[in-house]
Structure 1
Amino acid sequence: MTRSGSAHGTTVREAVFQLLRHHGMTTIFGNPGSTELPLFSDLPEGFRYVTGLQESVVVAMADGHALASGGPAFVNLHSAAGVGHAMGSIYSAFRNRAPVVITAGQQSRPLLRADPFLYAEAPTELPQPYVKWAIEPARAEDVPAAIARAIHMACLPPAGPVFVSIPLDDWGQPCDLPALRKITGRAQPDAGTLGEIAAQLNGAADPVFVVGAGLDADGAWDAAVALAEHHQAPVWVAPLSSRCSFPESHPLFAGFLPANEADISRLLTGHDLIVTLGAPVFTYHYEMPGQIPPEGATLVQIVSDPKQAASAVCGTSLVGDLDLSLRALQASAADPRPKRPAPLREIQAPPPARGISSAMALDALRRLRPADGIVVEEAPSSRDDVHDYLPIDRAGGFFATASGGLGYALPAAVGVAMANPGETVLAILGDGSSMYSVQGLWSAVEHDADVLFVVLNNGGYAALKGFAGNKEVVGCDIGHLSLAALAEGQGCPAQQVSDPAKLDGVLSEAFAAGGGPRLVEVMIDRG
């Protein structure tokens, strides 16, 4: 730890930039506003300002950047209205466990007694309950210390967004530089409970693993593969997981659990031990009652998020870092089990279709995309096809929103690309999803993000129609959109393809282009 003495002559602004530089947070995501003007005017050398044309886009870009880089991201929003615009993305960042430090402007302190224009009446209440911590410092000189605390709060597990409201006139006030500290934290699992779980694994006749986003977030990919191989345990993905936590081309990969009790119970029946890693028990989307755990099965959960442990409705839960926990279980494992005779899952060819089907488009992306590329996905009606035809086989290789809110993936892909220079990011989007944050294409162009946006245009909210069954649902047809035209209007090169014979050629050309954003709008046959 280092600490300066008196920082006479140091302003709040100067102290904050020293803090940000110390933590490697040299990228600021924002949408400029008058109450934040002192922050982004004349940026110090080595900092860059990433502009988004709407506040929800800004937070989603920062969210993607934080998750892909593994470090905190810094966001600047505009007072109450800007924070209000961003609330959907703040909620997604909270559910994604993204370490995002959100600052927002506030009117000058002398004006606050008179309800001025563009002020926040209850600044710390507005983003609640979807931030880990929120503050408007009582004094200008307290701002740097508040931001220092916010950075640590955002990063400590379970990570998540935090919020600091800063009055306009605070930036130029004198202050002392707070201690430039480093805090690291990994929740050490209880050794006794780990020993009990190891004994259960060693004694189980047919164990099964269920993996969730927390496993990838804790960097436990390799440990999970090693443990599954040792026990020859089938591996399922937890319902609606927002990250990939096990190689989906692996012989032990079994598939994706649906978001209902009945199907989960059916698919896990026959296993005597269910070990859930980095996931809730369980996330449901629609009601289909079933027995959890199935008859004859014992359930164990290992997570680093205490809330997920507390909310589990059955089984034994252990709170601890996933990588530390799985390595300890591996060290206590008995002799390895014989290998299973055949892979548990194989990718099939997509069924024939009159035009381009979603399955056909995903299969083409699998064949044509660079090996081990990063995928960011928000195509709800095609999610099953993503699962079936586009296996992810690398840690940190897949990002989707954990909140279910639309508008995340398009700008998040920009943030992911900025955190991985030199690597093409594939963003798979629906037409409806794209429209929630289509302004993110402008940011992709402005900052030369290497993203291939593939929009699967099926002319409406097809996922919602699927839930309705045979009933007619109003408001779900949006078929007169042209995402390619919207992209080109923002300076993003774009193509549209509807002929199956041309699909491979168009996608191959788009992958080969590289070095900046481009969009392919795939017109999905609605028959």
Structure 2
Amino acid sequence: MHTTNPQAVDDTAMQTALERMTVRDAVIDLLRQLGMTTVFANPGSTELPLFRNFPADFRYILGLQEASVVGMADGFAQASRRAAFVNLHSAAGVGNAMGNIFTAHKNGTPLVITAGQQARSILPFDPFLASVQATELPKPYVKWSTEPARAEDVPQAIARACYLAMLPPRGPVLVSVPVDDWDRPAHRLVRRRVSTEIRPQPAVLEGLGLALDGCERPALVVGAAVDRDGAWEQIIALAERHNARVFAAPMSGRCSFPEDHRLFAGFLPALRARVVELLAGHDAIFVMGAPAFTYHVEGAGPFIPPGAKLFQITDDPGTAAWTPVGTTVLGSMRLTLQDLLARPACVLRPPPASRQPPPMATATPRMTVAYVLQTLAQLRDPQDIVVEEAPSARPVMQRHLPMTRSASFYTMDSGGLGWGMPAAVGVALARPGQRVIALIGDGSSLYSMQAMWTAAQQRLPITFLILNNGRYAAVEDFAPVFGFVPGEVVQGTALSGLDFPALAAGWGCVGQRVSAASELPQVLQQALHSDGPCLVDIAVA
């Protein structure tokens, strides 16, 4: 008599099922295991097979241009603290997205980007839509890029990309996938557990701890990585333990310390001489989660005040390597701060003088940016999230619109425009139920305004505030640095004839314009409680 082993039958059936799995099936299954079920995309022909029989437990977020797609994914990844999945069209699509890929790189945002590619069989013949050097196109602004040698290697390449994007320093990665690969056979991958934090070298950290305990007038300079790494409570505890003044690092893309705290000392500009001037009087400077330092224009002289010592904590080996002076500790911000707080308490220093609040802005016939942002600060809920891309207004915002909570503020570390409006959409998708305020310059808004369409389609609670001064003010403000004389016209900076409420209506959003200070509070109050996205065009001096 012949008998059949039930276990052997089950194993055979399972093996058959695995053998019948396609590359597309394996990738969808892997993304589901990793919780990456939101896809940000703008479709093209070479990407279509990935989305055939689109799974019901996934959601597809359509952006109308590739830069918007990447910006939305960036905001989503930052607000969710997880990698986001992005699908772009080949060559030209990736090219359109490069500005915001650069920004994601500077922001340290984990993005897994797949890009379409023509079929392997016709690649030798330079076909239409082919990306001739697909892996080179996004460099150097991705951590890794690849086009797998075989179709069956695609799932493993995407798995590697997912893990690599989340490893420090986090950032975007790209996998180019030929269109005919998606239907080839592949094996299922099982999610791995990969550590995403690095603890600092004990001996180097001990030296930093001794310096912190032994100095007389410490200053902490905090950057985006503090908030990005979830170290908000730890940095407050460390500052309070040492009664250390706390400065925000130049050009930081996040709020990493409450700006209404008694120890907050203000913002360092991206100018070497001013950094040295503001840090004068401190004998030890501890830069945490930021470069030491980011500069916008060239400068001469020392990097830190004479007689002071510099210590840095960063999770980025590249940043650690180019820091010009001092000692650098490489490791996770959160784990490093935990280790510093585990040291015995030091002798409490006397508290430093508190920062003086700015004078109140007054209503004038032509509204100032200070008055607008002061009014916004009075009306907004403290839990509202601000996404900012108004470079010329940022110094005013830092005085009149204080950020006081973790994960409440996002801006771009890169200086590239076209990130803010789509990033606001991504943040709103990641934080459902919370109001997002997109504070955008009139010039900045025009780079990725099509993101408003996605906001309208998703019915997201976003208030887009356009600070409309009719010009590229940041460019004009910098003109004297590069030799322009007072009163000289800066070509290409005037913006006129723009109807932002009409543009908003075209994307499906409610829009209105306000130019009188007396009308602003009521207009803002309504806009901050809208059911869906809305735009307010604010005329400012």
TM over 0.5: yes
**In structure 2, the residue corresponding to 1:512 is in which secondary structure?**
coil
- Residue 21 of structure 1 deviates from its aligned partner by 0.5
Contact 1:265 1:290 (C-alpha < 8 Å) held by counterparts? no
Decide whether the 8 Å contact of 1:15 with 1:144 is kept in 2: yes
Q: For 2:318, give the aligned amino acid.
A: K
Give 1:189's aligned residue.
200
Q: Which amino acid aligns with 1:210?
A: V
- CA deviations on 1:466-504 (whole Å, 9 max, x unpaired) are 111323200100121122211111111111100100000
The corresponding residue for 1:367 is 378
SS in 2 for 1:404: coil
Query: Which of 89, 95, 102 is equivalent to 2:100?
Result: 89
Report % sequence identity. Answer: 50
CA distance in 1, matches of 2:198, 2:357: 37
Aligned to 1:496: 513
Q: Which residue of 1 aligns with 2:437?
A: 426
Determine which of 306, 322, 339 is the counterpart of 1:295: 306
Q: What amino acid maps onto 1:282 in structure 2?
A: F
1:117 — aligned with what? 128
Q: Which moved more, 1:410-419 or 1:487-496?
A: 487-496
Instruction: Tell me the residue number matched to 2:138.
Output: 127
1:523 partnered with 2:501: no
Counterpart of 1:103?
Answer: 114
Question: In the superposition, relative to structure 1, how do residues 333 and 266 fare at CA in structure 2: closer, same or farther (>3 Å)?
Answer: farther
CA deviation vs aligned residue, 1:199-240 (integer Å, no higher than 9, x gap): 111111110100001111111111100000011100001111
1:15 to 5, 26, 35: 26
Q: How many residues align?
A: 522
* Cα deviation digits, residues 283-316 of structure 1 (max 9, x gap): 0012343322111111100111111111101111
Cα deviations by residue, 1:346-400 (Å, 9 ceiling, x for unpaired): 2431255331111111111101111132111000110111101111111111111
Which stretch has the larger CA shift, 13-22 or 174-183?
Answer: 174-183
1:138 maps to 149
Q: Give 1:246-265 correspondences, 5 Å limit.
A: 246-265=257-276
Which residue is equivalent to 1:223?
234
Amino acid at match of 2:452: L
- Aligned partners of 2:292, 2:329: CA distance in 1, in Å? 12
CA deviations over 1:124-168 (Å, ceiling 9, x no partner) = 011111111111111111111111111001111111000001111
Distance (Å, rounded) in 2 between the aligned partners of 1:311 and 1:96: 18
- Match of 1:479? 496
Q: CA separation in 2, counterparts of 1:116 and 1:416?
A: 38
Letter of the structure 2 residue corresponding to residue 516 of structure 1? G
Q: Deviations over 1:61-110 (max 9, x none)?
A: 00110011000100000010100100111111111111100001111111
SS at match of 2:19: coil
SS in structure 1 opposite 2:528? Answer: helix
Q: Distance in 2 between matches of 1:113 and 1:309?
A: 42
Provide closer, same or farther for how the CA distance between residues 341 and 256 of structure 1 changes in structure 2, counting only shifts above 3 A. closer
Deviation string 1:148-190 (CA, Å, 9 cap, x unpaired) is 1110011111110000011111111111112321212211111
Match of 1:320 among 328, 331, 342: 331
- Report the equivalent of 1:449: 460
Q: Confirm or deny that 1:383 pairs with 2:400.
A: no
Letter in 2 for 1:221: W
Residue 308 of structure 1 corresponds to 319
On the 8 A contact 1:40/1:49 being kept in 2, the answer is no
Contact 2:263 / 2:352 at 8 angstroms: preserved in 1?
no
522, 525, 529: which one aligns with 1:508: 525
Asked if the contact 1:452–1:519 (Cα under 8 Å) also holds between the matched residues in 2, the reply is yes
Say if 2:289 and 2:314, in contact at 8 Å, map to a contact too.
yes
What is the alpha-carbon distance in structure 2 between the residues aligned to residue 290 and residue 372 of structure 1?
42
Note the 1:320-339 alignment, pairs <5 A.
Answer: 320-338=331-349
Contact 1:79 1:120 in 2 (8 A): yes
- Tell me the secondary structure at the aligned position of residue 386 of structure 1: helix
CA RMSD of aligned residues (A): 1.5
After the TM superposition, which of the residue ranges 34-43 and 284-293 deviates more from structure 2? Answer: 284-293
What's the CA shift for 1:343?
2.7
Counterpart amino acid of residue 271 in structure 1: H
Q: How far did 1:336 drift?
A: 4.9
Give me the whole-angstrom Cα distance separating, in 1, the residues matched to 2:55 and 2:331: 40
1:54 and 2:71 matched: no
Partner of 1:350: 361
Q: Bigger radius of gyration, 1 or 2?
A: 2
Counterpart residue identity of residue 19, structure 2:
H
Q: C-alpha distance in 2, partners of 1:75/1:380? A: 27
How far the C-alpha of 1:326 sits from its partner, in A, is 1.2
> Alignment partner of 1:79: what SS?
coil
Residues 345 and 23 of structure 1: CA distance in aligned 2, closer, same or farther (over 3 Å):
farther
The two structures have a TM-score, normalised by structure 2, of: 0.94
Task: Return the letter of the residue paired with 1:518.
Answer: C
CA distance in 1, matches of 2:299, 2:140: 29
User: Aligned-pair distance for 1:341?
Assistant: 6.9
Q: 1:399 aligns with which of 387, 407, 410?
A: 410
Deviates more, 1:465-474 or 1:100-109: 465-474
Q: Quick one: distance in 2 between partners of 1:383 and 1:499?
A: 22
Identify which of 71, 78, 92 aligns with 1:67. Answer: 78
Separation in 1, partners of 2:208, 2:459? 48
Secondary structure at the counterpart of residue 375 of structure 1: strand
One-letter amino acid matched to 2:177: I
Residue 339 (structure 1) shift: 5.2
Q: Match of 1:43, SS?
A: coil
Q: TM-score, normalised by structure 1?
A: 0.97
1:233 pairs with one of 244, 247, 260:
244
Paired residue secondary structure (2:339): helix
Whether 1:156 aligns to 2:155 is no
Indicate conservation of the 8 Å contact 2:78/2:109, yes or no: yes
